[in-house]
Amino acid sequence: MGKLSRRAARALYKNGIKPQLFKKHPDDVHHRMVSSARHFGRGAGPLRILAHKDKRLEQDLFGLHFANPIGISAGLDKNAEMPHVARAIGCGFTTVGSLTDTPRRGNERPWFYRLPKTRSLVVHVGMANIGLDKIIPRLKRRPRQFPLVASVAVVSQKPGCNQAAIIADACAAARRLKDPALCDAVEINISCPNVADDQPFTRAPALKKLLTAVDALQLDKPVFIKMPNLADWSRYQEILDVIVQHNVQAVVVANLVKDRSAVALHDDLPADVKGGLSGEPCRERSLELIRQTYAYCGDRLKIIGVGGTFTAQDAYDKIRAGASLVGMITGLIFEGPQVVGEINAGLSEFLEKDGHDSVRAAVGTDSRLLQK
C-alpha cells in the first residue's frame, strides 16, 4: 500500500505539481508551501500512507526515540508551521527555525534562486522569522512523540556588530526553549552564510565564548551545532576541538555551500544573485566532512548528515560515513513529499542487502574501513 501510494504521489508530483511550482518564483512557492502546510496542520494525517515503517530504522539517541533517521533540516519551517506535516509524511524528526528571540525581517527579497539542472537552490534569507513570542504557542501544539529540534540563529544583522550582544541574543532565545514542552533539542546555527558578518563563531575564540555561555544555560536537553560547509579541514578541526570541550551532543554537517568557485553549475547563475547553495553542490563535501568528523570524533559526537540527499543511496552513504541521522530540504522540494518514505524504504533494502539488523549497525561502516 505504502509503495503504491508513494509511486502515485511521485508521478503526481513529477508530472503535475512540480512543473506548475517550478514555473513560479521560488519565493512564492516557499511561501505557499509553508502556508498550505500550516492550514493542513493536524489534518495532514492522510499523508501517512506515504510513510515507510521498519523496526530496524528505529534508534534511541540522546534519550529520544527516532522512528527512522530521516528528517527535515533547519530553514524549511522557520516559524514552526509544519511539524505535523513532517511527521505525517514519515519523517523521524524535524527542525524548526533558524529562529531568534525577537522577529527579524531578514534580507531584501528575493530570498531564493532556483538552479533546476544543478538540483540546487541559492538561499539568501538571512534569518527572517517571526520571533519566539509568536513561535512558542505553535511549539506548544507540536506533535507528541516526534523529536523536534529548534535551531537558534547566532547572527548579527549589521557588519561589525558586538559579539557579546550576539551571544546574549542567542542565549535569550535558547533560554526560552528550555521548557521541555517546546522542543527536544536545541541546534545552534553558527554557520548562516547569508548574514552581514563573516561567520565569526566558526572561529575558535568566538565559539569558545558562545559555547561557554550556552553551557551556563544548563538547557537540560541535547545541544547540536550546525557546522559550516568548509573545504578546509584544518579550520573544521579547530571548530570540533572547541565543541568537544563543551556540552554538545551532535554536529549537523553541514550548512549551505558559500564558495561557488568549486561548484559544478549546470545552470546560469548571474553574479548578482547572492546566497549559499543547497542540494547537489553540498553533497560530496558534506559526505567527506561527515567521514572525517566520524574518524576524528568517534562516539564523542553524534553526526546529523545534511546536504544533497535526494535518494536512499545518498542517505545510506551519509550513514555509512558516520551519520546517525540525516536531514534534508532540497531533495524534498525537487522530488516531492513521498521522498521521505521512498528513502526509508530504500534504507530498509540496503540494511537487508548488507546484513545489518539495525540502522545503528550501519553507522560509520565506511569510515571504519578507511581507518583500518
Ligand X SMILES: Cc1cc2nc3c(=O)[nH]c(=O)nc-3n(C[C@H](O)[C@H](O)[C@H](O)COP(=O)(O)O)c2cc1C
Contact residues for ligand X (CB under 6 A)? 73-76, 78, 98, 121, 123, 125, 151, 189, 226, 255-256, 278-279, 282, 306-309, 328-331
As given in the structure block, the three cell numbers for residue 159 are 557588519
As given in the structure block, the three cell numbers for residue 162 are 558586538
Q: Specify the residue, 121 or 303, whose C-beta has the smaller distance to ligand X.
A: 121
On whether the CB atoms of residues 303 and 61 are closer than 8 A, the answer is: no
The candidate with the shortest Cα–Cα distance to 321, out of 354, 349, 350, 363, is 363
CB 306, min distance to ligand X, A: 4
CB 369, min distance to ligand X, A: 25
Instruction: Determine the 3-state secondary structure of 162 from DSSP.
Output: coil
Q: Which residue has the cell 533547519?
A: 74
Q: What is the CA radius of gyration of the chain?
A: 19
CB 80, min distance to ligand X, A: 12
DSSP for 337-354 reads: TTHHHHHHHHHHHHHHHH
CB 173, min distance to ligand X, A: 13
Cα distances (Å, whole numbers) of residue 32 to 36, 39, 42, 126: 6, 10, 17, 19
AA identity, residue 276 = G
Q: Specify the residue, 327 or 364, whose C-beta has the smaller distance to ligand X.
A: 327
Strand partners, 325: 304
Q: Specify the residue, 2 or 279, whose C-beta has the smaller distance to ligand X.
A: 279
Alpha helices (H) along 225-358: 233-243, 280-297, 312-321, 330-335, 339-354
Q: Specify the residue, 2 or 331, whose C-beta has the smaller distance to ligand X.
A: 331
Q: Specify the residue, 292 or 309, whose C-beta has the smaller distance to ligand X.
A: 309
CB 309, min distance to ligand X, A: 5
Query: How many C-beta neighbours within 10 Å does residue 246 have?
Result: 15
Burial (CB count within 10 angstroms: exposed 0-12, middle 13-18, buried 19+), residue 160: exposed
CB 129, min distance to ligand X, A: 8
Whether residue 324 has a cis bond before it, omega within 30° of 0:
no
Q: Specify the residue, 49 or 174, whose C-beta has the smaller distance to ligand X.
A: 174
CB 1, min distance to ligand X, A: 28
Task: Spell out the SS3 assignment of 126-142.
Answer: CCCECCHHHHHHHHHCC
**H or E stretch including 107?**
none
Q: Specify the residue, 59 or 255, whose C-beta has the smaller distance to ligand X.
A: 255
Q: Specify the residue, 331 or 337, whose C-beta has the smaller distance to ligand X.
A: 331
Instruction: Determine the 3-state secondary structure of 104 from DSSP.
Output: strand
CB 365, min distance to ligand X, A: 22
